[in-house]
């Protein structure tokens, strides 16, 4: 997931936090709330729960991969200043990921796991030598080879699977919302269907999350 996507996640996290807080304080007036507002609130907190699980997964699996990188390459860092400095990116991540505590019951998200997931992407961007125009240094190439052979594919598949599970549940929840509407309401809330379709039609995780945020951006 790219940097823009991580900003999108942060935005969803903020909105979800606000939505959940509003829900807690306004249970008495909830009958006045439109079905659309209620549905958005529920979709937001449900989405946040899944995003949190995904970022926690990236933090934990990223830590495992990076530990192997440090373990395998540390013996080579004596007398190689570039490698020594580059490995600090990995030890720092491992240290931060090691401090991650489980979320408390009902806590929608944790900034730390979101940040770790963003850092993971930055590290991927910095060391990914696939298709780079400039020839990578030996150290960068070595690090990338070590990352890829230690489970990067599995991590990516794990993220895809979790995201696909989320989308299919999102679909179910949206259909429940749809079937709760009267024809008039369905027309009135036309925009939410355009949004739903644009999220559905987007082909990558990044596209989907950015489309998800587009609508919320207009709403709030």
Ligand X SMILES: *[C@@H]1O[C@H](CO)[C@@H](O)[C@H](O)[C@H]1NC(C)=O
Q: Which residues bind ligand X (CB under 6 A)?
A: 85, 88-89, 119, 122-124, 126, 128, 130-131, 152, 194, 197-198, 201
Least distance from ligand X to the Cβ atom of residue 70, Å: 14
> Smaller CB distance to ligand X: residue 20 or 152?
152
Residue 173 Cα to chain centre, angstroms: 20
Least distance from ligand X to the Cβ atom of residue 176, Å: 20
DSSP secondary structure letter of residue 180 = T
User: 152-179 vs 138-149: helix axis angle to the nearest 10?
Assistant: 60
DSSP 122-176: HHHHHH--TT-SSPPPHHHHHHHHHHHHTTHHHHHHHHHHHHHHHHHHHHHHHHH
Least distance from ligand X to the Cβ atom of residue 85, Å: 6
Least distance from ligand X to the Cβ atom of residue 22, Å: 28
Report d(CA 45, CA 22) in Å as an integer: 12
> Smaller CB distance to ligand X: residue 48 or 114?
114
> Smaller CB distance to ligand X: residue 9 or 48?
9
> Smaller CB distance to ligand X: residue 30 or 197?
197
DSSP 192-204: HHHHHHHHHH--S
Least distance from ligand X to the Cβ atom of residue 188, Å: 19
> Smaller CB distance to ligand X: residue 30 or 186?
186
Report d(CA 94, CA 113) in Å as an integer: 12
> Smaller CB distance to ligand X: residue 119 or 140?
119
Least distance from ligand X to the Cβ atom of residue 157, Å: 12
CB 29 within 8 A of CB 125: no
Report d(CA 5, CA 2) in Å as an integer: 5
């Amino acid at each position: 997931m790219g940097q823009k996507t991580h900003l999108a996640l942060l935005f969803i996290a903020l909105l979800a936090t606000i939505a959940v807080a509003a829900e807690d304080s306004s249970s008495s007036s909830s009958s006045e709330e439109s079905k659309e507002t209620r549905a958005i609130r529920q979709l937001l907190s449900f989405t946040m729960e899944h995003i949190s699980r995904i970022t926690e997964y990236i933090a934990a699996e990223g830590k495992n991969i990076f530990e192997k990188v440090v373990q395998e390459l540390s013996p080579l860092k004596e007398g190689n200043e570039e490698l020594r400095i580059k490995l600090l990116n990995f030890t720092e991540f491992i240290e931060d990921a090691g401090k991650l505590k489980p979320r408390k019951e009902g806590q929608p998200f944790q900034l730390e796991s979101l940040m770790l997931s963003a850092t993971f992407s930055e590290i991927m961007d910095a060391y990914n030598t696939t298709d780079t125009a400039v020839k990578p240094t030996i150290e960068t190439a070595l690090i990338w080879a070590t990352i890829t052979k230690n489970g990067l594919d599995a991590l990516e598949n794990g993220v895809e699977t979790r995201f696909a599970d989320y989308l299919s549940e999102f679909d179910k929840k949206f259909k429940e919302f749809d079937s709760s509407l009267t024809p008039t309401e369905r027309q009135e809330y036309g925009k939410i269907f355009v949004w739903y379709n644009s999220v559905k039609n987007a082909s990558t995780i990044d596209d989907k999350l950015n489309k998800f945020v587009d609508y919320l951006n207009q709403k709030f």
